[in-house]
Chains A and B, each alone.
Chain A
Amino acid sequence: MHGGDDQHETAMEPGFDFISPRFEEPKFPMHQVWGYAASLVLTFAALWMTVNRIMSPSVLLGVVLAMAVAQGALQLGVFMHVRESRGPAWHLLPLGMAFAIGIGLVGMSAWIMLFKSGVS
């Protein structure tokens, strides 16, 4: 950031402790190495399972979906440093909202595409 016009944050409200500042500066980014390896494993495992069709399609879909969610969490936590912040971690609140909207949109789309139709 530049221009020196940053906002100054004030003291934490009670009940908002989970956004209190927390910052890690390790000498060697061991977390990231593990995270990278785990991402690769999750990706290639999913590919391997689908290519070799090791389970019935519906089970496979569930498993791959779960692995995708796990990888999403991994990316957020390890590479996007989602829990860390020099000031209060305000970004956790909109992030929660983002999840709510995202899940809402996906859920509603599934509902719409079920075609429980009486009219068409």
Chain B
Amino acid sequence: MPALPSFVPYLIHTLFPPWVRRPTEIGAEVMMVAGGAFIVYWLLKYKKLQWLWNEWLTTVDHKKIGIMYLVAAIIMLARGGLDALMLRTNLALPTAHFIGASEYNEVFTTHGTIMVFFMGMPLIFALFNVVVPLQIGSRDVAFPRLNAISFWLFAFAAALFNLSFVVGGSPNAGWTAYPPLTELAFNHTVGENYYFISLLMTGIGTTITGINFLVTILRMRAPGMTLMKMPLFTWATLNTSALILFAFPPFTIALLESLLDRLAATSFFTLSHGGMPMMYVNLFWLFGHPEVYILVLPAFGVFSEVVATFSRKKLFGYPSMVLSMTAIMVLAYGTWVHHFFTMGAGPAVNVFFGLSTMLIAIPTGVKVFNWILTMWGGRVQFTTPMLYFLAMIPTFVIGGATGVMLGAVPADYQFHNSYFVIAHFHEVLIGGTVFGLLAGVYYWWPKMFGYKLNDRQGKWAFWLFAGGFWPTFIPQYWLGLEGMTRRMYTYPLGMGWHTLNVISTIGGFIMGAGFLVLAANVLYSRRHQEKDLTGDAWDGRTLEWSIPSPAPEYNFAVIPTVDERDWWWQEKERRRQGEKPVVVKPEEIRPIAIPKNTPVPILLGAAFFMGAFGLVFSWWDIALAGLVAVFSILIYSWFQYDHYRILSAGEVRESEELLGRLGA
């Protein structure tokens, strides 16, 4: 047998070290290859490649970008959920060693990272993209092409991060990635490189998205829509974007410096060389605390829309809702030290941040009371989004109250790093963020696709998901109080922790079943569509419900003048009283400039991916090639001048005619 060229064993050794050849990894590999092959086969068989490229991969339409974010987020929810179930299985069977210590480390790291950055964030951006331009009466976001670049940076970063599972090895230092655990001296595999680089990549995209939506909301509202007439989801987007703007830079620096420590032998966080590991912790949470509000404010926005629509009443206390949300945004920047009270910065520091933490509970409480008062005396419809809202109230109240307990400094010295913390943050992250975003997905689904998700199945998924939630996480408070620390892969049976852990794991599998029903719900509803021809599936209140579902590519044939809150509801009210409806008049339709499709964003994402992959393995030539590719694509795009195509007034008129929208 002829000898293999010497680089082949090197490649096999580097790309597929023993720790990616365990049964779970091989299983994932088989699934990925089979899934990929099936998709390619399907695309070729039905000649869909051209369609995919033209309609989706090169699109700059915010509505389609939103849908792509949604698809990616649901796939990532499945991955993160599988990780969670592996962790829970291990903890229910402490003597069986279903997965070992090092694999447990990897799995909780990828679970946390994926759930926060590759499931939560894209789900938020999905709703931003789908909803905000329609809610403010705009034809697109301020920078459509940048918007697509944000998406592709995220998508390729997510692919890179997930690749670590089967190529080279997963990161294993937790979603917080503290030094010295991440330093090269203690962590030889490429896993942490994957973590730092993919988060840098998606972080660029996130920052751009924040800027994009700030500008969109501040500059592109329909005439008449002053700030205090904006729907609350738009307010939530504005505040979230303002949080992104300042939260991501310190994170970027922390990631970059950690990466340099690993790749370029610097010692920003290497204690023995005069570095400051605690500075990483400080920078991380300077980002990390605003990040949890980035995750939850959009959910607050969704709930504010959902509760008003399904109570058929205007939102109670609109100005106080806006004020409290903005207060949360500002205060969110001033509480980060509560994640590391035990560092011992001193009593003055800890007391300051303990108080600021407790202060945030006040505006949050205001919001909860306003939502409840909105339902008061309304005709409440118990649709799936409304159920998620109702389930959020008790979970978020308990999660918030335990948060205040964690903010009490001396108590935190006891709670810190225990299962009490795990229970607390899952309660707010799932009870707040995930319930909220799922409510938003059910609520705006008809706007995205033109048909509702089946409500009966939606309720099944809801009861499993929200019902499984309580047995999963409530026992963990007690586990924490009994001394079980987070991130432990096993425990001796004599500790008395076993029963609670078994309950928690059973709950986790019930939630998993909920996810399966949700997926089935999507597939079933797609097959058995009941088209919504009105564009106003829920008898909504805000501008997005005044146009057809799904919205035509130009959104609004004529931009309406919106001089009151809940304009669409008021307009319907006026119609009910026999006034003449405001309709699109053919003679008012003007030609519309639509941003053209472009391959630049996806190519840029691919070029970043190549460079990043090179960096992960310190293959500098590939990294350099990626950099050159990035610049070449940027230069190519500088010389493209006509970014818009014009939709003539005639074409718009025809399309509106077909949609049955033209009035006399």
CB-CB under 8 A from B343, the residues of chain A are 120
Q: Which of A16-24, A41-49, A66-74, A109-117 contacts B (4 or more CB under 8 A)?
A: A109-117
Closest B-chain residue to A111, C-beta based? B349
**Are A113 and B223 also in contact (CB < 8 A) when A2-B139, A5-B559 are?**
no
Q: Which residues of B contact A113 (CB under 8 A)?
A: 276, 278-279, 282, 345
Q: Chain A: how many interface residues by the 8 Å CB criterion?
A: 25
Which B residues form the contact surface with A (CB < 8 A)?
137-140, 142, 219-223, 245-246, 250, 276, 278-279, 282-283, 286, 333-334, 337, 342-350, 559, 590, 592-593, 595, 644
Within 8 A of B (CB), among A83-120: 98, 101-102, 104-105, 108-109, 111-120
Given that A5-B139, A109-B286, A113-B278 are known contacts, is A102 also in contact with B246, CB under 8 Å in the complex?
Answer: yes
Chain A minimum-CB-distance residue to B590: A4
Closest to B643 in A: A2
* B residues less than 8 Å from A109 (CB atoms): 279, 282-283, 286
Select from chain B the residue with minimum beta-carbon distance to A2. B593
Residue A25 CB within 8 A of the other chain: no
CA distance A108 to B345 in the complex (A): 12
B246 interface neighbour in A6, A98, A112, A116, Cβ under 8 Å: A98
Residue A7, interface by CB 8 Å: yes
19 additional A-B pairs beyond A3-B140, A5-B223, A105-B250, beta carbons within 8 Å, are A3-B138, A3-B592, A5-B137, A5-B559, A98-B246, A104-B333, A105-B333, A109-B282, A109-B283, A112-B337, A113-B279, A113-B282, A114-B346, A116-B345, A118-B346, A118-B347, A119-B346, A119-B347, A119-B350
Q: Are B246 and A3 in contact (CB-based, < 8 A)?
A: no
- Indicate whether A1 reaches chain B with its CB closer than 8 angstroms: yes
A and B contact pairs by CB, cutoff 8 A, 17 listed: A1-B219, A1-B220, A3-B139, A3-B593, A5-B138, A5-B220, A5-B559, A8-B223, A105-B286, A105-B333, A109-B282, A109-B283, A111-B349, A115-B346, A117-B344, A117-B346, A120-B344
**Closest beta carbon of chain B to A104's beta carbon, Å:** 8
CA–CA, A109 and B249, complex, Å: 14
Chain A residues within an 8 Å CB radius of B250? 105
Instruction: Report Cα–Cα, A79/B219, bound state, in Å.
Output: 22
Nearest CB in chain A to that of B144: its residue: A2
Point out residues on A near B: beta carbons under 8 Å: 1-8, 98, 101-102, 104-105, 108-109, 111-120
Nearest CB of A to B268, in Å: 13
A98 to B220, CA, bound (A): 22
Q: A2, B644: Cβ atoms under 8 Å?
A: yes
Chain B residues within an 8 Å CB radius of A98: 245-246
Name the residue on A nearest B644 (C-beta): A2
Q: Closest CB of chain A to B108's CB: distance in Å? A: 27
A24 to B333 alpha-carbon distance, docked (Å): 37
Tell me the minimal C-beta distance from A117 to chain B in angstroms. Answer: 5
CA distance A8 to B223 in the complex (A): 9
Q: Whole-angstrom distance between the alpha carbons of A22 and B391 in the complex?
A: 53
Q: Which residues of B contact A111 (CB under 8 A)?
A: 349
Q: How far is the CB of B650 from chain A (nearest CB, A)?
A: 18
Give the complex CA separation of A116 and B351 in angstroms: 13
Measured CB to CB, the nearest residue on chain B to A116 is B346
The reply to whether A7 and B221 form a contact with Cβ atoms under 8 Å apart is yes
Q: Which residues of B contact A112 (CB under 8 A)?
A: 282, 337, 345, 349
A113-B282, A116-B348, A120-B343 known; A6-B644 Cβ under 8 A: no
Chain A residues with Cβ below 8 Å from B592 are 3
By beta carbon, the residue of chain A nearest B214 is A94
Nearest-CB distance from B477 to chain A (Å)? 25
**Chain A residues near B347 (CB-CB < 8 A):** 118-119
CB-nearest residue of chain B to A109 = B282
With both chains docked as a complex, state the minimum distance between the C-beta of A35 and any C-beta of chain B, in angstroms: 21
Given contacts A3-B592, A5-B137, A113-B279, contact A105 B346 (CB under 8 A): no
On chain B, the residues within 8 Å of A116 by CB distance are 345-346, 348-349
Please name the residue on chain A nearest to B278 by beta carbon. Answer: A113
Question: Which residues in A have their C-beta under 8 angstroms from that of B223?
Answer: 5, 7-8
Which residues of B have CB within 8 Å of A101? 246, 333
Complex CA–CA separation, A11 to B349 (angstroms): 46
Partner of A5, one of B222, B245, B279, B595: B222
Report whether A115 and B337 are in contact in the complex, using a CB–CB cutoff of 8 Å: no
Set of chain A residues within 8 Å of B279, measured between Cβ atoms: 109, 113
Top 9 nearest A-B pairs by Cβ distance? A120-B344, A3-B139, A116-B346, A117-B346, A117-B344, A112-B345, A2-B593, A119-B344, A5-B559
